Chains A and B, each alone.
Chain A
Amino acid sequence: MTRFDGRKILITGAGGAIGELTAKMFFAEGASVILADADLAAAQHVATELNGDHRVMACRIDVGDCNSVDAVFADAEARFGPLDGVVNGAGLQEIAPAPASERWKDVLDIHLTGTFSVCRAFAGLANKHRTPASIVNLSSTATHASLPNRAAYVSAKHGLSGLTQQFALEFGAFGIRVNAVAAALRCPPERENARHMVPESDRPAETRIPLGRLATAQDVASVVLFLSSDEASFITGAVVPVDGGFSAGKLWP
């Protein structure tokens, strides 16, 4: 499939597991990809794996800093022209028993305010160009549920649903669709802090998920690509659970 031939997609958090795979999948379907991450080396690593092609750009972004966000968009546009899509994957996890959250502000700054800044910058540019475009926000099952010891993260992700739907309404006139993927927490063993990503319980996650397994990066990236594609042309304001049925109900009694 080459759904993204000639399209230009910016991905924040491109150095993370989902961001990296998403970028690779967009690239494989013909897109030029702008790999933005707080960790420039991680973004460059992904760029290298894509053979540092003329369709790839790696850059550092601090989504908590509007100047950084504006600069990245300016650089991306200067190199590739108007962008067609954005994937907001930048994130920060904090596990802390309430009310001892020391990183409340950081978690909100990155997940919620950072996404706001990126969307605002992108919409401003897209409004000038008036071409159809798409924003996909990487959210979490935490967007409509609570999780132990993650007050800041849950709050930020709840806010992210509201932001997604708000911007779907505001940007529709510019031809920008805005959606979110509410992905289940995954357990990629090769990444650091992997086990922290799964909510604590005396029952293994696999027995609490209807489809009986944890998500993979592929599970999430496939949905991000669908929402970014023309096949989703009438979908906006959707918060799509990618969670193996976790949010459909309880496996109880």
Chain B
Amino acid sequence: MAIPLKDPTVGKFVGRTVLVTGGGRGIGEACVRSFASEGASVVIADLDYDAASHVAASIGELGAARPVAVDVTKPDQVDEVLSTSAQISPIDILVNCAGILDTKPLLELDLATWRRVHAINLEGTLFACQSFARLLSATRRPGSIVNIASVVGLLALVNRSAYVSSKHAVVGLTRALALELAPAGIRVNAIAPGVIRTPMADVHFRDPAVAARVQAAHALGRPGRPEEVAAAVRFLASDDAAYLTGVILPVDGGFTCDNQM
């Protein structure tokens, strides 16, 4: 679905390059489209190259959108992808959306699954941040990182111990990197999306009982849309957030402030 560019000369991100991991679907895809609609050049990094290509093709005349394949669990690949992209166009903004969900009771959780969830959600974020920081420090450019954490990085849900742990760690990593990269002029923040209608989550909404509970758990009476998360990502990456670093911004319709459900 192409988004018409409002006015190519006044997009807030004209002249900026954004790299989005997990940009092939869901929140990542929404971020790609959102930045592209504001004039950015976007590198769509995804394990699924076809999905990334499809998004790039559909953006069409909005601007430069380039797909690239990457397995974020492999630091050498991540480094290669960021370095190569930076040679084409220096990266200003990194958005870490690559992530997987896993639902399993604790006693059924095997070590391989635990490690895989952390490898993608946490280490993938770490490797991308390290490469980005290395690139920017070498050229002394300022930059901005936005990590996609989750409301379950702030509170827990049942039967998701690996996912909850990995997202809590992303929150901690965000704060740690915010302190450490501040002198280099790199702001590091995170979004904590709540229940969002994405392909990863949508399978759960088909059950009407679940859908009703989701509605009741939100002050705004509904789950969120990927575009709403993307708008918040854009904000954190923009100059309007120039004094924000180490912030974990809930985009959750009030989910985290209601303990009744």
- Give residues in A with beta carbon < 8 Å to B: 165-166, 168-169, 171-173, 177, 184, 210-212, 215-216, 219-220, 222-223, 225-226, 231-238, 240-245, 247-249, 251
Given contact pairs A226-B240, A231-B232, A236-B254, A247 touches B249 in the complex (Cβ within 8 A)? no
> Taking the nearest CB of chain A, how far is it from the CB of B3, in angstroms?
14
Establish whether residues B247 and A241, one from each chain, have CB atoms under 8 Å apart when the complex forms: yes
B191: nearest chain-A partner, CB-CB:
A235
Stretch of B40-48, B69-77, B109-117, B213-221 at the chain-chain interface: B213-221
Residues in chain A near residue B235, CB distance under 8 A: 226, 231-232
> Taking the nearest CB of chain B, how far is it from the CB of A74, in angstroms?
27
- Give residues in B with beta carbon < 8 Å to A: 175-176, 178-179, 182-183, 187, 194, 218-221, 224-225, 228-229, 231-232, 234-235, 239-247, 249-254, 256-258
> Taking the nearest CB of chain B, how far is it from the CB of A121, in angstroms?
20
Establish whether residues A210 and B242, one from each chain, have CB atoms under 8 Å apart when the complex forms: no
Choose one: B182, B232, B256; the contact of A232 (CB below 8 Å).
Answer: B232
Establish whether residues B240 and A169, one from each chain, have CB atoms under 8 Å apart when the complex forms: no
> Taking the nearest CB of chain A, how far is it from the CB of B176, in angstroms?
7
4 smallest beta-carbon distances between A and B, as pairs: A248-B246, A172-B219, A219-B243, A210-B182
Establish whether residues A210 and B179, one from each chain, have CB atoms under 8 Å apart when the complex forms: yes
Given contact pairs A231-B235, A241-B246, A248 touches B178 in the complex (Cβ within 8 A)? yes
- Max chain A CB contacts within 10 Å: which of B175, B228, B240? B240
A240 vs B244: C-alpha distance when bound (angstroms) = 9
Choose one: B194, B228, B246, B252; the contact of A245 (CB below 8 Å).
Answer: B246
Residues in chain B near residue A177, CB distance under 8 A: 220
Choose one: B194, B231, B241, B243; the contact of A215 (CB below 8 Å).
Answer: B243
Choose one: A222, A234, A249; the contact of B240 (CB below 8 Å).
Answer: A222
Residues in chain A near residue B228, CB distance under 8 A: 233-235
Residues in chain A near residue B187, CB distance under 8 A: 211
Establish whether residues A236 and B245, one from each chain, have CB atoms under 8 Å apart when the complex forms: no
> Taking the nearest CB of chain A, how far is it from the CB of B181, in angstroms?
9
Establish whether residues A223 and B219, one from each chain, have CB atoms under 8 Å apart when the complex forms: no
> Taking the nearest CB of chain B, how far is it from the CB of A198, in angstroms?
15
> Taking the nearest CB of chain A, how far is it from the CB of B148, in angstroms?
14
Residues in chain A near residue B257, CB distance under 8 A: 165-166, 168-169, 237
